Amino acid sequence: MELVDALRTHRLVAIVRGTDPSSVLDSVRTLVREGVTLVEVSLTSTDALDVLAGARAALGPDAPLGAGTVLSADDARAAHRAGADFVVTPAVCEGIRAARQLGLPVLAGAMTPSEVVEAVRLGAEAVKLFPASDAGGPAYLRALLGPFPEVPFVPVGGVDTAAARTYLACGAVAVGVGSPLIGDAADGGSSDALRLRARAFLETVATKGDDQ
């Protein structure tokens, strides 16, 4: 898949992490039905690889499906076998190189300028600014875009709808959202509430007037 094009088009990556495998899978299905195209399942979820395989079967071969919290080469290989077609890392790590060797595009976690350079050098297509809220928020993103104007940044961490709007206006290609979007749905909570949150985030990222 063309990860950067997908990020620029959809502007939202849903990060699903939970303790109840059936609820994690249901959350993925619910998000996709609501129109959230880019979804990642964190490998820290219970039975994450089985969930990924189930999601791939449910969504079909052409739907984008990501594996998150990929750290090692083994993680990347396992995610690939389970059906992921892009990976997301929390840091600059071995998983980046291994995923690229498998032909999987990578959204690599980085925080400092040196980490951004290294992530790109290892082959990451885009950089996940993480944890964005602790790094300094939108002001820090603006600072990074000075020396790295061509790097596609995706802020992750503490991104609610208001923050998403601000990050996109500051030049982020997309935002990654976990708990402010998923809530407790992946742990057995309400799917109806997840639908409402998904609609709110989709409305937010579809509003382009603030970032022209």
Q: Please check whether residue 196 lies inside any domain of the structure.
A: yes
How many Å apart are CA 17 and CA 30, to the nearest integer? Answer: 14
Q: What is the pLDDT of residue 176?
A: 98
CA dihedral 84, 90, 96, 99 (to 10 degrees): -10
Q: Please check whether residue 22 lies inside any domain of the structure.
A: yes
Helix 191-206 vs helix 161-170: crossing angle, to nearest 10: 30
Q: Please check whether residue 212 lies inside any domain of the structure.
A: no
Annotated catalytic residue within 2, 34, 40, 94? 40
The answer to whether residue 208 is catalytic is no
Annotated catalytic residue within 2, 34, 94, 128? 128
Is the distance from CB of 186 to CB of 45 less than 8 angstroms?
yes
- Averaged confidence pLDDT in the chain: 96
How many Å apart are CA 89 and CA 70, to the nearest integer? Answer: 5
Domain of residue 160, CATH code: 3.20.20.70
The answer to whether residue 128 is catalytic is yes
Is the distance from CB of 187 to CB of 46 less than 8 angstroms?
no
- Domain count within the chain: 1
- pLDDT tens sequence across 75-100: 999 999 999 999 999 999 999 999 99
How many Å apart are CA 145 and CA 208, to the nearest integer? Answer: 19
Task: Provide the residue range defining the domain that includes 171.
Answer: 3-207
Tokens of 45: 């979820």
Please determine, for residue 212, whether its predicted confidence score (pLDDT) is greater than 60.
Answer: no
pTM over 0.85: yes
Residue 9 carries which side chain, given as an amino acid letter?
T
